[in-house]
Structure 1
């Protein structure tokens, strides 16, 4: 589709109306992942700050449609490359005409493929800033497209430089991601803005109804009153490194411990086979697909949250777990340094022996576990607020607009 360029001089009167923000993402509800959680939270907070916000995403089928501020462009499955992935169709002219007529002041893309191409074209045609949040550490996914991690990293670096070259600013969820982009040779302004979460649903079981629900869930999973529960919430995919979690749980030799893997994914059969081979199938529970509106129930059944993932950009499920009162026991990763406070909200481990030692310390000392649970809740609520997230992103928009402002031609200058 040919888009008509709008001169900056034509975009007047923005100070008299709410800032118009177009968020673009290949993933959207009802899909459940970190990108969707981040974009949904940002949309809600920007609306609360008085912005006019719309979303451009992909339809789950070939039909293009719009609904309540969400535009969905028809798409086809790309599951051959990555489970549940989709590619946008070169259609959607009506939707794009609507977006151009609406006229966003800032375009903020959140994925690097289909919708990012539309984001670039819309921003260029309207002469408005393009901001991009780099959510995914692609080099942790090289097993999907390259037998060599070294070659895969070079491909990712080249790809990332190309995608980000046309942006006015890049948002990185953590300093780890910012350093990674620097190593790729990305030379755009990078702002580190941790993703905030709406944590009102995530809290320890306190009411009689919540405590009864915990008991019922444990009973449904065949977990006895004397058993300790380790919870992991993630997509069951190879990059989440859940093989290691199974190995570690088996290596502890703790017969009083049950591991609950909350989620579904293409790697489930391999994980079930590994649990059986390790002789711990009777101490591992697979919940399958969980309604995202009820995921907080599954955190509450746990005594600790465990993860061996190395593909996190910030670890939103780790924060949800903390807010639910779960101490964390996770593989060491710089992206978690501000989340896992050693000895206070949990530990990061490097070896199997360290994992086993810290787990024993946590599960065998009830007073310590209760104190770490309280600290985890306090830390999550103090550092990961959704309001602060929305305000920080809005400030990035304002900065890129100020940087572009000298290029805007005043109406009287045009007349002259």
Structure 2
């Protein structure tokens, strides 16, 4: 198949959408398909670099790394139409989606769309009125998604939300896959000690780690408050926050105000090939977020054999097995009890740790690639069947 992936976000930006696009691109290429990507250029002019068509764009002040374009007559689109993809898989709902629709209409080919982001949890970026923002998200999602053939979501949580929006096209649940080879590396004790030293973590401290975009929607305020209560009970513990984002300065101020600044490390953005070290540095991975569609960092933590403790959320239903590879919590008291219980009982901790990596084998990039490939084949077949049925109907009308 000739497959076009479209996305607003692309390298050098690092986020879940970009990771998913690159994972899918790699897997589809390995399966023998001709795959190309249409993306907004992070810098420079419109151009083609190998399999990637980049369209000139500019930054927009909605959230970090957001980009837009007015270059809708780009020659890149003409080049793609000349190439002639069989199907388009869009990954974002904004500028690149408009290109996807234009190309699909011109070639009369199907579009499937992955709904990566729960915008209802991001309304603070464009309005102070939460209820108004959520209504806008519903209307926007309906208008965008009614123009595609199939919607892909990573979890039943997201499917349920879109069904509540009364989305028209069929919805398929296919979890995003992860390239396990990036994490099949060891971190020696010597390397671990060196990294702790670099981050100014005292020797002998237990390390709580969280990884992801540092945005208000990630509920890191709650993690910080829980850590303050935890630090008051046990002094030899540190929190490492890996990632960057618009809420970092607020969290740094909060750490100062709570009197725990010396116990909180803001590691910033880490190269994707090095991030395994930060997972493996952690004794426990934590998250307070309820805005995840899937929670790729939760899976990455488990691949790295780190038990997870996360705020209870529907996205965890298929991933986290209570007391087997981690725990969920709903209150600060539960959070503190779980962390203390794991750290104070090595046998229990080691038993859970032993289950972590094997519990996420179904999330491999290979399985992800196979499932998406099968969906493409089904959607293309349905489109072709529609042509046949339409032709038969027209023929019947002429005969009668």
Please report the TM-score for the alignment, with normalisation by the length of structure 1: 0.91
Q: 1:276 aligns with which of 251, 256, 259?
A: 256
Instruction: Report the CA distance between 1:204 and its aligned residue.
Output: 6.8
Q: 1:400 to 1:218 in 2, by over 3 A?
A: same
* Counterpart check, 1:332 vs 2:297: no
* Counterpart check, 1:103 vs 2:81: no
* Counterpart check, 1:84 vs 2:84: no
SS for the counterpart of 1:72 is: strand
SS for the counterpart of 2:140 is: helix
SS for the counterpart of 1:230 is: strand
What pairs up with 1:169-318 in 2 under 5 angstroms? 169-203=150-184, 205=186, 210-252=188-230, 253-318=233-298
What are structure 1's unaligned runs of at least 5 residues?
1-18
Instruction: Report the CA distance between 1:145 and its aligned residue.
Output: 1.4
Instruction: Report the CA distance between 1:95 and its aligned residue.
Output: 0.9
Counterpart-to-counterpart distance in 1, 2:36 and 2:69: 18
Partner in structure 2 of residue 5 of structure 1: none
Q: 2:371 aligns with which of 392, 395, 410?
A: 392
Q: Answer with 129-138 or 211-220: which moved more.
A: 211-220
Q: 1:204 to 1:211 in 2, by over 3 A?
A: farther
Partner in structure 2 of residue 342 of structure 1: 322
Instruction: Report the CA distance between 1:238 and its aligned residue.
Output: 0.9
Instruction: Report the CA distance between 1:93 and its aligned residue.
Output: 2.5
State whether residues 28 and 35 of structure 2, in contact with CA within 8 Å, keep that contact through their aligned partners in structure 1. Answer: yes
Q: What's the CA shift string for 1:247-276, capped at 9, x where partnerless?
A: 011112321110000111121111011011
* Counterpart check, 1:149 vs 2:149: no
Counterpart-to-counterpart distance in 1, 2:388 and 2:332: 63
Q: Aligned pair count?
A: 389
State whether residues 8 and 67 of structure 2, in contact with CA within 8 Å, keep that contact through their aligned partners in structure 1. Answer: yes
What are structure 2's unaligned runs of at least 5 residues?
393-400
Q: What's the CA shift string for 1:5-50, capped at 9, x where partnerless?
A: xxxxxxxxxxxxxx00000011111211111111111111111111
CA RMSD of aligned residues (A): 1.7
What pairs up with 1:43-122 in 2 under 5 angstroms? 43-78=25-60, 80-91=61-72, 93-122=74-103
Instruction: Report the CA distance between 1:92 and its aligned residue.
Output: 5.4
